[in-house]
Amino acid sequence: MNSTISSPAIQSRPQLAHLLRDYGIVIAFVVLCGVLSAVNENFLTWGNWVNILRQTSINGILAIGMTYVILTKGIDLSVGSILALSGLVTGSLVTGSEPHSAFVGILAGLLVGIALGAINGLIVARLSVAPFVVTLGMLSVARGMTFIYNDGMPIANLSKEFRFIGQGMVGGIPVPVIILAITFFIFWFILKYTTFGRYVYAVGGNERSAKTSGISTRWVVFAVYVISGLLSGLAGQILAARTTSALPQAGIAYELDAIAAVVIGGTSLSGGVGTLSGTLIGALIIGVINNGLDLMGVSSYYQQVIKGTIIVAAVLLDASRKKQS
């Protein structure tokens, strides 16, 4: 009789664990939204959510590139500085009495991101230097170049055509959100359904085995840093267009929010495990937390403490999952 009664309870435990493992991040997001909506009645308004999505778009794009890097057991601390330099280069081209077209400016900014990402990838992949050291160095180099480029001065009066990618609306949806959605779909498809995507997971899971099986691990590592640089450049365009000026101090500490979104989304810092869907939810959680704390009037200093605590908690959870497996 006792075994009959306890059997369903025993069977439900692994089911509950499976549910939390697969959908825990979504459940956490829903619970967080419920708490914030109860605390502040303005949280669930359409205007506030448009603001959340617009703000999340930049971190979401950075986090997509960061996911590729972390899946290969790397890290990219230079995304914020690359974002700033890319935005400044673009800003210099789409302003003045005879500005270039938005297409030319955006292309130049993206090429800056690709070039700096390629330098990161080349040093990490070919010279086998630790990603932390390489990208920390690039963080400083790119930031210095940003201040040198225009003598530390912002570039204002960006063309209306260019500002559309940061301030425009299509069918009531902000253009940055549309760009995020398109970017997410492209790189989600690559990661999930292409050979390159499988190589990314293989390199992060066991680089030695991947090399033995014939995968060019150096090329994969190089490519993910190029992707990160490209998306950092894209985020730089959107930020400059949204703020109507390219600022040399833009993007400071943005790498922390990007890493937080990736880790919260379930991607392992040890590589080989993670999804872009989780990263997107992680970016939304970061955006919702920032917005909710702003609505409650919480100081930005305390916000940094809270986000840092969340990152540490996510890393500890990842370590716990690895021990169990």
Region 46-63: mean pLDDT is 93
Structure tokens at 177: 């959100």
pLDDT category of residue 16 using cuts at 50, 70 and 90: low
Residue 225 near residue 236 (C-beta atoms within 8 A) = no
Residue of 319 and 101 predicted with greater confidence: 101
Amino acid at 191: L
Residue whose tokens read 């169990």:
324
Report d(CA 9, CA 190) in Å as an integer. 41
Residues forming beta bridges with residue 155, ordered by sequence position: 246
Structure tokens at 158: 């960006």
pLDDT confidence of residue 27: 84
Region 238-265: mean pLDDT is 93
Report d(CA 230, CA 305) in Å as an integer. 30
The mean pLDDT value of the chain amounts to: 90
**Domain ranges across the chain:** 45-252
Report d(CA 251, CA 113) in Å as an integer. 13
Residue of 98 and 131 predicted with greater confidence: 131
Among the residue ranges 2-6, 81-85, 186-190, the one predicted with the least confidence is 2-6
Per-residue pLDDT tens for 154-176?
A: 999 899 999 999 999 998 899 99
Residues in the chain, total: 325
pTM above 0.75, yes or no: yes
For the cut 80, the answer to whether the pLDDT of residue 325 exceeds it is no
For the cut 90, the answer to whether the pLDDT of residue 234 exceeds it is yes
Count the neighbouring beta carbons within 10 Å of the beta carbon of residue 25: 23
pLDDT category of residue 1 using cuts at 50, 70 and 90: very low
3-state secondary structure the chain: CHHHHHHHHHHHHHHHHHHHHHHHHHHHHHHHHHHHHHHCCCCCCHHHHHHHHHHHHHHHHHHHHHHHHHHCCCCCCCHHHHHHHHHHHHHHHCCCCCCCCHHHHHHHHHHHHHHHHHHHHHHHHHHCCCHHHHHHHHHHHHHHHHHHHCCCCCECCCCHHHHHHHHCEECCEEHHHHHHHHHHHHHHHHHHHCHHHHHHHHHHHCHHHHHHCCCCHHHHHHHHHHHHHHHHHHHHHHHHHHHCCECCCCCCCHHHHHHHHHHHCCCCCCCCCCCHHHHHHHHHHHHHHHHHHHHCCCCHHHHHHHHHHHHHHHHHHHHHHHHHC
Share of the chain above pLDDT 70, in %: 91
Report d(CA 118, CA 228) in Å as an integer. 9
Residue 296 vs residues 1, 289, 304: alpha-carbon distances, Å: 53, 11, 15
